[in-house]
Amino acid sequence: MAPDRRTPQLLRAFALALALLLVAAPSGGAQEPIDAGNEEAAQTIRGTLSDGKGTSTRDDDVLVEGVEITVRAVGGEEVGTVTTDEEGVWSVGVPEPGAYQVEIDTSTFPDGAELRNEERRVIQTSLNPGQTRTINFPIGADSRQTTGGLADLAQRIVLGINFGLIIGMMAIGLSLVFGTTGLTNFAHAELVTFGALVAYFFNQTVGLPLLLAAPLAMVVGGAAAGLSDLGIWRPLRRRKTGLIAMLVVSIGLSILFRYLFLYQFGGRTRPYGDYNLQRAIDIGPVSIVPKDLWSIGLSLTVLLLVGFLLQRTKIGKAMRAVADNPDLAASSGIDVDRVVLFVWVTGGALAALGGVLLGLGEQVGFQMGFRQLLLMFAGITLGGLGTAYGALVGCFIVGLVVQVSTVWVPSELNSVTALVVLIGILLVRPQGILGQSERIG
């Protein structure tokens, strides 16, 4: 147990992982500038005047031409007036960074066009050096809201089931790792992103169909998670590193890998090569694209398999035993390290598959996993920290809440609803839905 002998091993693992990821050829094309690093460039305020229906193709957007837009320095003089071109695009170069206001002249609108919100004729903005800022004046009625009523609710429930199953699948590993080792692993989100990116690599760069790329991503994701246990977490446990220290280490790794993904993949989100254009089919009041149906079916199958694994197999029982009480499990002859490694591999593979399904629904991006991390935490806390089934139930509820709440709450605030629910649950039942009632703290 000499900590000093462990140190080089840890360092080597870090160095190896980094070297591998840095050497791997960048999988994408041009990188989107995320960091406004180029200080030489002048500042620009630009925008597109359209009615933004919010559909992904943007083909049906009505573009507004010939409208005058004026940019002024706040409390200062006019910088320039421009007229939108036939594609509704306008752009004003701004000589100095600072605060500006952009005003749209509604008297130059063509017939029939009007601002969605009359009070937002003047928009204030501020520019950092070299920054390009996009200002949009939405035109026409807000068409993003779908029609209300029961049909809408049914639609949301189906979407919520899909989303809930996906984050449930992703969160099983997070919850079981917590249960078996006590580690709150912030870098779990990066395992999700990693899975989606590996599938993207096999799908778009190598050219395999997604049906083959997804299992490969699961294998690679599981292996990566297993290696992280062998190379980082097991040595840390041997060193008797505290749980909070390990939590902070996982935050460091999360930042490291998130920006490594950005470095390799770029800031743009990109779709997989398959199943992009699908016609929705109507089932009763619900219209759903086939890939979402397959996603629900696949998630259910995988989760049933996981349930079987946990309930019926020897290793599954050992996993639950270690999650319940590691010391007792160890003293009854269970090889805890082996079980923990198995938990990491399983959790990593499930996270990777969840990432692929998530990327299928939206698109693949460098922080797609990180965006879901808080919802995963909310789900597993809600269900009962450390249990596999609790993670599922809790995440399923969180997914449903997030989607269904958009009937009443603006969709930009749907994560807020889930997080508020989380805080509320902690007030009433801190051990979660399936957690054992114990005195905590």
Question: Which one of the spans 6-14, 206-214, 283-291, 319-327 is the region binding another protein (CB under 8 A)?
Answer: 6-14
User: Are 198 and 220 within 8 A, CB to CB?
Assistant: yes
DSSP state of 402: H
260 binds another protein (CB under 8 A): yes
> 32 phi and psi, to 5 degrees?
-75, 135
Interface characters, 184-203, with another protein (x: CB under 8 A): x-------------------
Under the binding rule (CB under 8 A), the answer on residue 126 touching another protein is yes
> With binding defined as CB under 8 A, does residue 236 bind another protein?
yes
Residue span 357-376 as binding mask against another protein, x where in contact by CB under 8 A, dash where not: -----------------x--
Helix (H, G, I), strand (E, B), or coil: what is residue 266?
A: coil
Q: What is the DSSP letter of 88?
A: S
Q: Which is nearer to another protein, 59 or 438 (CB)?
A: 438
Burial degree of 354 (CB within 10 A; 0-12, 13-18, 19+): buried
**Contact (Cβ atoms closer than 8 angstroms) between residue 311 and residue 131:** no
Figure out which of the listed residues 74, 206, 211, 212 binds another protein, where binding follows CB under 8 A: 74
Write out the binding residues for another protein, residues 277-336 only, by CB under 8 A. none
Task: Tell me the per-residue interface mask from 12 to 51 with another protein, x by CB under 8 A, - otherwise.
Answer: --x---x---x--------xxxxx-xx-------------
DSSP of 17-55: HHHHHHHSPP-SSSPP--S---TTSPEEEEEE-B-----
Q: CB of residue 257 vs another protein: minimum separation in angstroms? A: 7
**Separation of alpha carbons 312 and 309, rounded Å:** 6
Q: Which of residues 131-190 bind another protein (CB under 8 A)?
A: 133, 135, 182, 184
Residues touching another protein, count (CB under 8 A):
64
Of 80-88, 220-228, 348-356, 405-413: span binding another protein (CB under 8 A)? 405-413
Q: Judge contact between 133 and 45, C-beta under 8 A.
A: yes
In what side-by-side order are the strands of the sheet with 122-127? 78-83, 68-73, 98-104, 122-127
- Cβ contacts of 309 within 8 Å, gap of 6 or more: 315, 316, 346
Q: Which position among 82, 89, 115, 251 is part of the footprint of another protein (CB under 8 A)?
A: 251
Strand-strand pairing, 43-48 and 68-73: unpaired
List contacts with another protein (CB under 8 A): 7, 10, 14, 18, 22, 31-35, 37-38, 74-75, 99, 123-126, 133, 135, 182, 184, 236, 239, 241-245, 247-249, 251-260, 262-263, 374, 377-378, 381, 385, 410, 412-413, 415-416, 419-420, 422-423, 426-427, 430, 440-441
